[in-house]
Amino acid sequence: MLWNCFECIEFEFEGYEARVVIPDKKLEKPSLIVKTEYWNAFPETEIKLLQEGFYLGYIKNSNRWGVDADLDRKARFVEYVTQRFSLKSKCIPVGMSCGGLIAVKFAARYPQLVSCVYIDAPVINYMSCPCGFGIGERIDDEEFSEILGALGMSSISELICYRDMPLDNIPELVKHKIPIVMVSGDSDTIVPYTENGIMLEKAYKENKLDFELYIKPGCNHHPHGLENPQLIVDFIKKHSC
């Protein structure tokens, strides 16, 4: 089948829907981009990377909150795809919103499989999103029940005490000096930058690490991406290894 005019191979991996998109351009040793969630959402950057010769992979998660079982399966998927298609051993997680939290937690848990990360309006702080304890909107009860169920919790008190939020994984990203390119809107009411992405920005700047940031004036949570995705593509090309 085709995905945005590129060959797309669909298959099951450990019982979960998976796919790999094949670039037309052939490189001697290509890299793998891994879309961590929301497969078809705002694909402009992935399309640009495919045009540059990158492969694109995706495996469905059991939920969107970055649980260990999903992260571990994703690591095995990356190892399988890179071996099957003779790709570089390190991938580039690409995550938007909750996909951003998955990308952060994956890179922290498996730094040996990650060359750099692209995140867009990422959820970093659960007290901000989904709880809405700050300036952001609180999600409805159904979605709130979703995160509690995904994390095996029964009350908000348990979530307040939870110590494996994306923000708790930042020290591992810093320790392994994983380059990050991040995009966010300065008017995001769902995942406010000042309660989420800014935590990564501060940690990376304090440690003088490779961090590229694009803040979009007047932009809410959507749309994701940049009008000129080549800026993100150039960062990824520079750091893919």
Evaluate if residue 109 carries a pLDDT over 90: yes
Please state which of the four CATH numbers 3.20.20.140, 3.40.50.1820, 2.130.10.10, 1.10.287.70 is assigned to the domain occupying 2-125+167-239: 3.40.50.1820
- Environment class of 137 (CB within 10 Å of its CB; exposed 0-12, middle 13-18, buried 19+): middle
The one-character DSSP state at 113 is: G
Evaluate if residue 137 carries a pLDDT over 90: no
3 φ, ψ to 5°? Answer: -130, 110
CA angle 161, 167, 170 (to 5 degrees): 135
Contact of 181 with 209, CB cutoff 8 Å: no
- Least confident segment among 110-124, 132-146, 186-200: 132-146
What pLDDT does residue 241 have?
77
Evaluate if residue 143 carries a pLDDT over 80: no
Verdict on whether the full-model pTM lies above 0.85 = yes
Alpha-carbon distance of 208 to 35, in angstroms, equals 27
Residue linked to tokens 């769902």: 190
Q: What does the pLDDT look like over 197-217, one tens digit per residue?
A: 999 999 999 999 999 999 999
Tokens read off for 96: 């938007």
Contact of 87 with 64, CB cutoff 8 Å: no
- Least confident segment among 26-30, 167-171, 199-203: 26-30
- Least confident segment among 110-119, 142-151, 170-179, 195-204: 142-151
What pLDDT does residue 173 have?
98
CA angle 210, 212, 215 (to 5 degrees): 155
* 9, containing H or E segment: strand 6-13
CA angle 225, 175, 79 (to 5 degrees): 65
